[in-house]
Amino acid sequence: MKKFKSIIAIVLAVLMAVGFAACGSKGATKSTTADDGAIEFGKANYSEDAPVEIGTPDKQLDADKIYNSVKYEADMFYGDYKSTDKSLYGSDGYFDYKSGGFAEFYENAPKMNDPTNKSDYSKRIVSTLPIRFEAGSSVGYILSSIKDKNVCTLSLVSKYESSDRPSYSEYYFTYEVDGNKIKLKGFDYDTESNDDHEITKVNYEFNGFELEYEFAFRGRELTLKQGDKSVTLRSGYSMKINDTSFDASAYLKSGAEGLPNINRIMLERMHDKGSKFYTDFLVTRDRDDYDYFVHGNCRMEDNGLITFTIPYKDGTVTYQFVYFFGGQELVLTDGDKTYFYTGSYYDYYGDSFGDNIDAEEKDKLGEMDEQQLQQIEEKKTDLMDDLEKEFKAEGIDVTVNKDTGELAMDSTVLFGGDSAELSAEGKAFLDKFVKAYAKIIYNDKYDGFIKKTMVEGHIAPISGTTYESGLPLSEERAKNVKDYCLSIKGTEKLKETLETKGYSQSKPVKDKDGNIDCDASRRVSFRFIINLDK
């Protein structure tokens, strides 16, 4: 499935050249495949007239040493790895059993009886080394919706005892990583659908097909070994396009630590008189008031090193890492820290929507394309900005959290001490706040965009207070704020959309050092819920 985070994209387009391509764009520099097999992506930055050169990293890494010592995780396998044996492919560039290569592969690979073959009239023998391995987003929407397991598919060559001609079939596995071993358990699945024929659930059952490999990564290559036999697969391989058909376009994995300011890394192949590449980096608002793309210069080496330079307005930054590159997803490590750019556009934008969408409606995000989600994200960002400007113009002291969508009011302004009764000062504050809030969310630009508004009560996690003991106060405060807001003239539209919830001390506010800020935690918040049907 697919999911997302915050973006107002201003795309600064500069074409780059790669590999075998010639480039006639102003300011772009022609590049070739080096003797060591490295691919150097074309040069660009903010100005076509001032291309950025690949810089020198602070430390030159030893790729072999890092591959041998890094702690392997399931996400490192994300991608699509295929055999580079051209005898397995037909003239159209796809696997073709008529080509003759399958027979040779079948004879040279370890084999076993296929436990998924239930036929009584003919047994099927299957190779246990794959000609293709896919994991992560490459397995497709249905299988990737299985969230409690890591899922992969293997293309294995098989042959019926009654036939002389081998072919290949796709098998489904869950997998776990243990040191330099990957353990796989085969499964069968079926789906459940609603009246509109939309898939609502994926059911799976293990079928007894189990495999185990020793593995090794090196650049774009994944080697799987079983006994004294092994196969080496390559990401982004295409027999048709000179082995340069790969492109990466992955967002930072949800909840993972990323490189400073970098939310997305994109290496995109374009077809225009050859293979042209963009090297794009989606940079966060940490360096400016908005997210934006920059175009950098990147060099990927077959030994597993990747070096890239990113041009910012205040200078360039150069990184070097060892990479795991599955064709879309990109994992980077220096041996100490690992950065997982394995998220989809759904992951990136869905995180941004977060608490501004009803939990029961989050599956709708998976039915939207990237453009639709980006439009919703941009509208949400505009709404948060407009609310913040209106509160500031009216002198209303509200903490606007653009990440969570929370509009927090200091409870000491609303209530006296530990009371849930609104003070005169609190009522005067709400008079101004509600009118400003309604003025923005019900104007022509946003009318219909907001499905409902949650009024939420919070208390500070102080010693001697439990969730249960603090819940009544937080609930009563939220209810009293709602009731008063509905009594204010000119806010009739809010009547059917306000709902309340108390959270006790379960959602404290933390400062930049991760410590709980008790004063900020004592609050009542407004949080709007987006109408995904509009």
251-310 pLDDT, tens digit per residue, is: 888 778 888 878 888 775 444 333 334 456 666 544 344 456 677 777 888 899 998 888
The one-letter amino acid code at 345 reads Y
Closest CA to 114 of 211, 193, 37: 211
- Contact indicator for 429, 413 with CB cutoff of 8 Å: yes
CA dihedral of residues 422, 424, 429, 432 (deg, nearest 10): 120
C-alpha span between 281 and 283 (Å, rounded): 6
Give strand pairing partners of 308: 298, 319
Query: Per the structure block, which two tokens stand in for 371?
Result: 């453009």
End-to-end CA distance of the chain: 22
**pLDDT score for 316:** 84
The one-letter amino acid code at 280 reads D
Query: Per the structure block, which two tokens stand in for 320?
Result: 């070097």
C-alpha span between 138 and 75 (Å, rounded): 12
Residue 269: HSE in the Cβ half-sphere, 13 Å Cα cutoff: 19
**pLDDT score for 134:** 95
Query: Per the structure block, which two tokens stand in for 108?
Result: 């040279």
How big is the chain by its Cα radius of gyration, in Å? 28
Instruction: Quote the crossing angle between the two packed helices 345-353 and 370-393, to the nearest 10°.
Output: 30
- Contact indicator for 138, 151 with CB cutoff of 8 Å: no
**pLDDT score for 147:** 80
**pLDDT score for 14:** 24
103 CB-contact burial (10 Å; exposed 0-12 / middle 13-18 / buried 19+): middle
For 479, residues 6+ apart whose C-beta sits below 8 A from its C-beta are 455, 500
CA distance readout (Å), 490 to 429, 440, 480, 485: 16, 13, 18, 10
Distance of CA 444 to the CA centre of its chain: 33
CA dihedral of residues 395, 401, 407, 411 (deg, nearest 10): -80
Give the residue ranges of DSSP H helices in 19-100: 63-69
Query: Per the structure block, which two tokens stand in for 11?
Result: 């795309």
Tell me if residue 188 falls in helix, strand or coil: strand
Q: In sequence order, what DSSP letters do the residues of 319-364 get, joined into one string?
A: EEEEEEE-SS-EEEE-SS-EEEE-B-HHHHHHHHHGGGS-GGGGGG
Tell me how many degrees the CA angle 186-248-147 measures, rounded to the nearest 5.
35
Closest CA to 286 of 317, 328, 331: 317
- Contact indicator for 235, 81 with CB cutoff of 8 Å: yes
**pLDDT score for 6:** 30
CA dihedral of residues 137, 140, 141, 145 (deg, nearest 10): -70
C-alpha span between 374 and 359 (Å, rounded): 19
C-alpha span between 152 and 144 (Å, rounded): 9
DSSP character at residue 94: S
CA distance readout (Å), 200 to 129, 195, 331, 363: 34, 10, 31, 9
Low-confidence ranges of the chain (pLDDT < 50): 1-50, 269-278, 285-290
**pLDDT score for 351:** 65
